[in-house]
């Protein structure tokens, strides 16, 4: 799933230049270089500089734009990475394919800071393979001036008066998952009957949408081109600063949760430093500063008192307990994936 905005070309070029320089430094001092494979814009400048200074090392950051691209690169034999930041379902795939190694908890004392409520829902609750890094729900957002009598529900997607002004994510797991939740079914259902009913709902929604869209929905709702969009919380919160008319909500039926985790590849060269990096990111003050810079929630209970009042008060990143209980993490479908692709093809071709 593509869940991150791409860097502007100038920033991407600067990052490439930086990586080239880091590669030269790495050849001179490989033991003091930590190479991270992660999403773009996913570590604050302050956290990066502080870690490099405290541990007398250099961070080299390489990026991917989807879990599938990351998995394909590793399965093709890419090496040289010390820390990976995949989504939770991708961690399961990496573990099943023996591409990551178990964590040494004795080297990560800050694990005690991880939010217990989060771990109760997590795909790796014992943190055998990974430590949660950043969390955000998939939401709906609308323009208050364009939508009458809004409700905090997926029923909004049936509003015929908004036809042509709605977008859904171009993502099988998000769209079918939303339809499943709207029907009261599990987000990761592999029941063929439930999936067929969910696909019928998605086909009904499709009649009202302008398009399936993963990137332009952000600028589209900010500019007023779209009135109602499905999108990722971090992206929507960011563009809402451009348009005060925007209202973001988690549907009352519950929604999908995406959590990106920290894990260590099986072939990592700097395992000790990788553990130190994971522990560093879970320091309460570091986690608080880092999440406010990124705009996502780090499930780190000890960091919450260090957050600004505005950030901690976000009902999107910190939803009420009853609503959070209805949300589910996207899981690895394994051999049942073709059941979903069959229905997705039916939706896209309808």
More confident residue, 235 or 250: 250
Q: What is the mean pLDDT of residues 209-226?
A: 95
More confident residue, 12 or 296: 296
pLDDT in tens, 320-331: 999 999 999 999
pLDDT at 8 over 70: no
pLDDT in tens, 95-109: 999 999 999 999 999
pLDDT for residue 326 = 96
The answer to whether the beta carbons of residues 184 and 328 sit under 8 Å apart is no
More confident residue, 235 or 338: 338
pLDDT for residue 218 = 94
Instruction: Round to whole Å and give the CA distance between 196 and 175.
Output: 13
CATH number belonging to domain 136-256+316-349:
3.40.190.10
Cβ neighbors of 243 (< 8 A, separation 6 or more) are 143, 221, 222, 223, 224
CATH number belonging to domain 9-135+257-312:
3.40.190.10
Task: Give the start-to-end residue ranges of the domains of the chain.
Answer: 9-135+257-312, 136-256+316-349
pLDDT for residue 235 = 87
More confident residue, 3 or 321: 321
pLDDT in tens, 114-131: 999 999 999 999 999 999
The answer to whether the beta carbons of residues 217 and 223 sit under 8 Å apart is no
pLDDT for residue 215 = 87
Instruction: Round to whole Å and give the CA distance between 287 and 292.
Output: 9
pLDDT for residue 328 = 96
Predicted TM-score (pTM) of the model is 0.83
pLDDT for residue 65 = 86
pLDDT for residue 25 = 42
Exposure string (b/e) for 189-204, b if CB count within 10 Å is 16 or more?
A: beeeebbebbbbbbbe
> Do 136-256+316-349 and 9-135+257-312 have the same topology in CATH?
yes
């Amino acid at each position: 799933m593509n869940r991150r905005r791409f860097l502007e070309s100038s920033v991407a070029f600067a990052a490439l230049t930086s990586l080239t320089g880091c590669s030269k430094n790495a050849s001179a001092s490989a033991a003091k270089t930590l190479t991270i494979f992660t999403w773009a814009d996913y570590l604050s400048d302050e956290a990066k500089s502080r870690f490099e200074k405290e541990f007398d090392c250099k961070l080299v950051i390489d990026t991917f734009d989807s879990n599938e691209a990351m998995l394909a690169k590793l399965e093709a034999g890419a090496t040289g990475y010390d820390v990976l930041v995949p989504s939770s379902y991708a961690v399961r795939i990496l573990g099943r394919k023996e591409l990551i190694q178990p964590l040494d908890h004795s080297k990560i004392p800050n694990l005690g800071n991880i939010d217990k409520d989060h771990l109760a829902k997590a795909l790796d609750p014992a943190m055998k393979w990974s430590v949660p890094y950043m969390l955000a729900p998939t939401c709906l957002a609308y323009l208050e001036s364009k939508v009458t009598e809004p409700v905090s529900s997926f029923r909004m997607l049936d509003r015929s008066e908004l036809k042509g002004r709605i977008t859904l994510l171009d993502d099988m797991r998000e769209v079918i998952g939303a339809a499943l939740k709207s029907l009261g079914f599990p987000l990761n259902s592999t029941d063929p009957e439930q999936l067929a009913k969910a696909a019928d709902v998605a086909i009904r929604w499709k009649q009202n949408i302008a398009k399936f869209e993963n990137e332009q929905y952000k600028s589209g709702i900010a500019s007023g081109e779209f009135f109602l969009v499905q999108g990722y919380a971090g992206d929507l919160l960011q563009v809402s600063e451009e348009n005060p008319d925007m209202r973001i909500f988690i549907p009352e039926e519950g929604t999908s949760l995406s959590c990106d985790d920290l894990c260590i590849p099986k072939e990592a060269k700097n395992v000790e430093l990788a553990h130190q990096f994971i522990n560093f990111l879970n320091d309460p003050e570091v986690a608080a500063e880092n999440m406010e810079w990124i705009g996502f929630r780090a499930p780190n209970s000890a960091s919450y008192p260090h957050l600004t009042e505005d950030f901690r008060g976000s009902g999107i990143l910190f939803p009420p307990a009853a609503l959070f209980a209805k949300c589910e993490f996207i899981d690895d479908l394994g051999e049942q994936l073709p059941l979903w692709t069959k229905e997705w093809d039916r939706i896209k071709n309808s």
